[in-house]
Structures are given as structure tokens and as C-alpha cells.
Amino acid sequence: MVLAACLATLLAGLVLKLCPVGEARSISLLCYSDLKTFFQYRDIATMPFPYVHGGMRDGLLLPGAIEYPVLTGIFAWATAQLAWSPRTYLLVSAPALGGLGLLVAYLLARMTGWRALYFAAAPAIVLYAFHNWDLLAVAPAVGGLWCWRRGRPAWAAVLFGIGTCTKLYPLIFVAPLVFEALFEARVREAAARLVTGAGTAVLINLPFAVVNPDGWYATYGFHRLRPPNIDSPWGLELTSPVIATSWPVETLNLLTTVLMLISFSTVFAAGWWRARWDGRYPFIQVCAAALAVFLLLNKVHSPQYFLWILPFFALVAIRPVWWALYSGLDLLLYAMLFYVGPISLDLASPYFQIAVFGRAALLAVLIVVFLRTHVASPAL
């Protein structure tokens, strides 16, 4: 039933993203997909092999440079070789992305039973499964959590390393994996987990960094120079702004980095304190809380990042109201960003700010909620 629900939402998502571009910009944007835009405006089908070529010049990416980590960029380029239009590119990419979505639903169902419907039947799957390539990262991240549940932390570290080469965020989960071993006084095991996770990411990136350092670094140079997007709290201006888009990017980079380091340290310390209380390190809860920190404080928070945290609503035994609140705010954000906004910014602005700052407040609360609860089981 979980797989059937996931298949239904995936097919609905594909139909949404395949809809023809209408005359009205507001209607066509409801069907927006980064995949179609990448094919149409970035000429990825004719681009030279990514990372081996390219670089940055005057803040702009040269042909061959892609703003995504290497595995996502190679996947995006390889599937483009089989397509001849934005819609066929989406169709070529869909089986792999959809298959990964089904795999995630299956693993969650094996770990949590019916709670996997929080992922499989989520409106976010309809909106974002084919919005970008994020399922390339969600699958190894959840696969790593599955391996941990099966008592295979080394394979978990490998999968987190692979996920790092798609969207970076799975690297966060290596730290709780290490702290778990340290709490159990297994120092050598902790070092092995760190080396395995980080080493996997390094080995995948190393050939490209050696062959063309400029083309490989362009991915990270692009994001260093990138300003905050408007669906991030850092990118909105209020009547009396505390944070505004007028802040220099360098200042914002430093501020968000410092805040993240402080917040990560706090989450890891809280996890350690709970481990001393319970006698067992709360690995999945700390992973969920740390990811919530990253989503809250990162200067870029694209809509499809909801897919990153969505599996944790199944994995951690929290009440359905949290999933409903997050989904509701996300639907409001999507409507304002891709429908009402193009019609009237004045009309969209108050609801857009409610969605963005409401989501930020919810993430702040979820950090605490995740750390206080326990891991879900199939019986739940």
C-alpha cells in the first residue's frame, strides 16, 4: 500500500511537471521544473562533459561547469544525451528519479510501517519529485539510515558519502554516526566511520578536482557568490528588517556559517546529554535535528528541500500535526511562489512571508521536538 501510494503521487507529480506551457505565465509556472529549465536555457545536451571542462569567469559558470555536486551533474548531463526537448528530458529522467522515490518509500515502510505514508503520500512528492534532482540525495541518505538500523554503520557511512556528492547535506549525518561510536567508547570505530564517510566523498570528487580544479571548484564558487533566494528568511525584507537582501554576500556567508557551527554543536551536545540519560545515543533524532538546523540557517532554501526532511516525519515518532503544519506551509509557499506571485506581488507578499517565516519558526521548534522524541518502529 505504501508503494502504491508513492507510485500514485509520483505519477501525479510527473503529470504536473509535464503539462504544456500555457499562454499565461502564472499557469505555466505551476508546472515549473528545474529539469526543463536546465535543458532549455543551459544547453546541457550540448555541454561538454561536466567538471572535466568549464570553470568560472566574472562570477558566471562556463560551459562544462554545473552548480551541483559531481554525481548530480553527471546524472543531469548523461540523461540529457538521450533527450531532444525539455519534456523528453523530464521523461528520460523520471524513471530513475521515480525509482529512487519508490526505493525510499520501501525502506521507510520496512523501518516504520504505515508511517512511511508521511513520505509516500505527501503532497511534496507531487510538487518536488521531478522539480529538481533531490531524490538522488534522499535515496542514499535514507539508505544510510536503513543500514544503521540494520547494524551496518560502515555501509551507512559509505552511503552518506555518496549522498554528499549529490546534494551535500547527507554529510551532516556522518557526525552523529561518529559521536555514537565515541559515546560507546569505541574510538577506533569512530575514526573508521569518519574516514569511510569523508573518504567516500573525497574519492568520488578527487578525479575531477585533479583533472580540472577550476571546473570542479566552480560548483562551490558559484554558491559562495550566490545571494539568498527569496524563499529563505535571509532573502526577505520586512518593514523594519533585521535581515535583508542588502547584506553583502560575504557577510551573510560568515554569519550563517558561524550560526550553523554553534547550532550544530548545541544539537550534538544535546544528543550526548540525552545519550547519558538514556544509555543509548539518539542517532536518528540527532540527524533530524541537525538537518533542521541546516535548513533553518542556510542562506538558500529552495522549495524542494522539503524532500530532505520529509523521511524524518516517518522515522521519528512525532505527532501528525507537525507533518500537517509543514505540508500546509509548503503548499502556501508553492502557491505564492509559482502562481499568485507572478500575477501580483502585492497580493502574494503577506502570505509569502507567512509561509517563509512560519516554516522557519516551525523548523526551530522541530529541532527541539526531534531531540525529545524516540525512533519510530513498524508497530507505530
pLDDT tens-digit readout, 9-64:
999 999 999 886 544 444 567 888 999 888 888 889 889 999 998 888 887 888 88
pLDDT class of 232 with cuts at 50, 70, 90: confident
CA distance 21 to 44: 20
Cβ partners under 8 Å of residue 64, min gap 6: 47, 48, 49, 50, 51, 52, 53, 54, 55, 215
pLDDT at 351: 85
Tell me which residue of 165, 116, 159 sits closest to 140, measured CA to CA: 159
pLDDT on residue 349 = 80
Give CA separation, 225 vs 50, 56, 108, 153, 254, in Å.
20, 11, 37, 36, 12
- Residue 283, C-alpha cell as written in the block: 542517532
Q: pTM of this prediction?
A: 0.92
